[in-house]
Structure 1
Amino acid sequence: MTFQPIIPFGGYTGWRFLERTLDNQQQAFADSQPVARSTSYFAQNIGNVRTAEDLVNDRQLLSVALGAFGLDDDIDNRFFILQILKDGTIADDALANRLTDNRYADFSRAFGFGDRAAPRTGLSQFPEEIVSRYEARQFERAVGEQNNDLRLAMNVESGLSDILDRSNSQDARWFSVMGNPPLRSVFQTALGLPQSIASIDLDKQLSIFKDRAQSVFGTDQINAISQPEQREKLVRLFLVRSEAANTASVTAGATALTLLQSTPRLTPQLA
């Protein structure tokens, strides 16, 4: 049986509890039978994978590979994933580079089938690298089954780290934030931006995100926002504003229901 995360509170209070207990909870989750069985199989067999086809044709390996990048829902999209892996990320027109969700590029780059003469699956440290990511992402997924806001908050540190590893310019880093659905949701909420911003020109979105970040954090540099103190502020603003929005929505719904229930029903009058 998989260990179920203990989350007694929501919002920022729940986040602080999760931070204090995270190491113990993650270890218990990683040691649970289903997770340990999946990671053990991956560690023992990924070294035999030499082609993208080898990976896609082994559902157990593919499940861990996708799960390590939060792409679990693509487990049955084998042809799509095969193309992501075979195209790699070097060419501008590679499939992963043409998708708005940059997790696919991270996934393809990590395995290296289309980017290197030999894939990274044969490297000695590779199994541990992917298993570590898988355990973290799957724990976040389990947290999300109870509270999705906390799942999004947990993704912030690793998501920003991935962006800083692959992007040098500040604009490229912002575009990566905007192209990563979990991170975008956190930033957009924390910065008080409406959902409708997604419908405007991308360069205009970039300008708005940077201007609002400068106002809220005193900087528009992603590397500065990724530092512990600023990152904690980002998470706190996200959770507080998200909880406030959810509360307002529930209150508005309850008020509307009360008004409907209290409105007198008109009885038709006979002529």
Structure 2
Amino acid sequence: MSFAPVVPLSGYGGWAFLKRTMESQKAAFAASPATKTDEAWFRERIGSITRAEDLVADRRLLKVALGAFGLDGGINNKFFIQKVLESRTLDTGALANRLADKQYQKLAQAFGFADFATPRTQLSDFADRILRDYGTRQFEIAVGAQNDDLRLAMHAERELPVLALSTTTQDTKWFTIMGSAPLRQVFQTAFGLPTGFGALDLDQQLATLKSRAAQVFGDSDVAQFTDPAQMETLLRRFLARSDAAAAVSPTARGAAALQLLQAGQQSAGNFLSLLR
């Protein structure tokens, strides 16, 4: 039986509990049979893969490769994924570079099938790096099965500082946030923006996000989210507003209650093990 992360509370209380138990929960998740099986298969076989065609032909390897970049949904689109992996990422016109979702570009760069005479799969630490990212994202997915708001918070805490440190312009960083569904949802909820906000003209969205950031944080620059205090303020606002919105919906309350009941004995046992 796989380990289901324990999330006994919603909102910021659930986030605080998750942060406090994160290391033990991640260790238990990594030790689950399903995760260990994926890891063993990848370690054993990835060194023999030198072509994109070979990677997409092995569904279990492809599952880990895509999962490491949050691209799990592409597992059945092998032709497209192969074309992405065969992209020369140093060529600005390459397929991987032209796609709106930059995770495809990162996937192609990580494997390097078209960029180097010898792909990165032959590097001694390649499996370690891919499996580290795979484990992180799969744990987030598992948390999301219990509470999707916490998954979004984990995603933002991981991705936003990386974006904040990038050398792109301030506006480009905001456009990147707008183009990322998880990050957009965090900011849109934290700023109390309506669901139809995304239908506005892009420049108007940009101006609104920068204005709200300046009002809430005293600064409109995305670079501020390298500061853990600013990040915590953002996540606290997101989780509080999201939890409040769910609380006013009887349907949402019923769904949350059903979800907790379905967790059943497994979550209870996991909870007790964390408190020992």
- Whether TM-score is above 0.5 comes out as yes
Q: How does 1:106-145 map to 2 (within 5 A)?
A: 106-145=106-145
Per-residue CA deviation, residues 189-233 of structure 1 (Å, 9 max, x unaligned), is 112222322222323322222221111111222221232111111
Partner of 1:55 in structure 2?
55
Partner of 2:8 in structure 1?
8
Partner of 1:261 in structure 2?
none
Q: Which moved more, 1:157-166 or 1:42-51?
A: 157-166
Partner of 2:46 in structure 1?
46
Please give the alpha-carbon distance, in whole angstroms, between the structure 1 residues aligned to 2:18 and 2:86. Answer: 38
- Contact preservation (8 Å) 1:103, 1:180: no
1:162 Cα deviation (Å)? 4.1
Partner of 2:87 in structure 1?
87
Q: Which protein shows a greater Rg? A: 1
Please give the alpha-carbon distance, in whole angstroms, between the structure 2 residues aligned to 1:45 and 1:25. Answer: 28
Letter in 1 for 2:28: A
Partner of 2:30 in structure 1?
30
C-alpha spacing 1:118/1:162, structure 2 compared with 1 (3 Å): farther
1:116 Cα deviation (Å)? 3.8
Q: Which runs of 5+ in 1 are unaligned?
A: 255-271
Please give the alpha-carbon distance, in whole angstroms, between the structure 2 residues aligned to 1:252 and 1:29. Answer: 27
- Contact preservation (8 Å) 1:66, 1:75: yes
Query: SS of 1:145's equivalent?
Result: helix
Q: Which moved more, 1:78-87 or 1:23-32?
A: 78-87
Please give the alpha-carbon distance, in whole angstroms, between the structure 1 residues aligned to 2:77 and 2:183. Answer: 24
Partner of 1:237 in structure 2?
237
C-alpha spacing 1:44/1:155, structure 2 compared with 1 (3 Å): same
C-alpha spacing 1:128/1:68, structure 2 compared with 1 (3 Å): same
Query: SS of 1:224's equivalent?
Result: helix
Please give the alpha-carbon distance, in whole angstroms, between the structure 2 residues aligned to 1:253 and 1:24. Answer: 29
1:20 Cα deviation (Å)? 0.2
**RMSD between superposed Cα atoms in Å:** 2.2
Please give the alpha-carbon distance, in whole angstroms, between the structure 1 residues aligned to 2:101 and 2:107. Answer: 11
C-alpha spacing 1:186/1:253, structure 2 compared with 1 (3 Å): closer
Partner of 1:218 in structure 2?
218
Please give the alpha-carbon distance, in whole angstroms, between the structure 2 residues aligned to 1:89 and 1:154. Answer: 28
Per-residue CA deviation, residues 165-212 of structure 1 (Å, 9 max, x unaligned), is 655322222222222211121112112222322222323322222221
Equivalent pairs counted in the alignment come to 254
Partner of 2:77 in structure 1?
77
Letter in 2 for 1:151: R
Please give the alpha-carbon distance, in whole angstroms, between the structure 1 residues aligned to 2:58 and 2:204. Answer: 43
Partner of 1:266 in structure 2?
none
Per-residue CA deviation, residues 74-132 of structure 1 (Å, 9 max, x unaligned), is 11111111122222443343333333333222222222234444332222222111111
Partner of 2:246 in structure 1?
246
C-alpha spacing 1:253/1:148, structure 2 compared with 1 (3 Å): closer
- Contact preservation (8 Å) 2:50, 2:119: yes
Please give the alpha-carbon distance, in whole angstroms, between the structure 2 residues aligned to 1:83 and 1:19. Answer: 39
Q: Percent identity of the aligned residues?
A: 50
C-alpha spacing 1:145/1:248, structure 2 compared with 1 (3 Å): same
Letter in 2 for 1:39: E
**Which structure exhibits the higher relative contact order, with contacts defined as CA atoms closer than 8 Å and separated by 6 or more residues?**
2
Query: SS of 1:100's equivalent?
Result: coil
Partner of 1:67 in structure 2?
67
C-alpha spacing 1:92/1:26, structure 2 compared with 1 (3 Å): same
Partner of 1:205 in structure 2?
205
1:58 Cα deviation (Å)? 1.2
Letter in 2 for 1:224: Q
C-alpha spacing 1:114/1:163, structure 2 compared with 1 (3 Å): farther
C-alpha spacing 1:225/1:144, structure 2 compared with 1 (3 Å): same
Partner of 2:263 in structure 1?
none
- Contact preservation (8 Å) 2:161, 2:225: no
Q: Which moved more, 1:58-67 or 1:18-27?
A: 58-67
Q: Which moved more, 1:17-26 or 1:243-252?
A: 243-252
